Amino acid sequence: MYFCLNITHMSTLEIRNKLIENIFLIEDKSFLEALKTIVDTKLASTTYELSDFQIDRIKKGREQLMNGNTISNDTVQKKVGQLKQKLI
Read off the pLDDT of residues 64-77 as tens digits, 9 standing for 90 and up: 999 999 999 999 99
Could you tell me which of 8, 6, 2 has the C-alpha nearest to residue 28? Answer: 2
Q: What is the pLDDT of residue 61?
A: 94
Name every residue whose Cβ is closer than 8 Å to that of residue 25 and which is 6 or more positions away in sequence. Answer: 1, 3
Q: Which of 26, 29, 36 is nearest to 2 (CA)?
A: 26
Centroid of chain to Cα 56: 22
28-to-19, 53, 85 alpha-carbon distances in Å: 15, 43, 43
Residue-range domain boundaries for the chain? 9-44, 55-87
**pTM (predicted TM-score):** 0.42
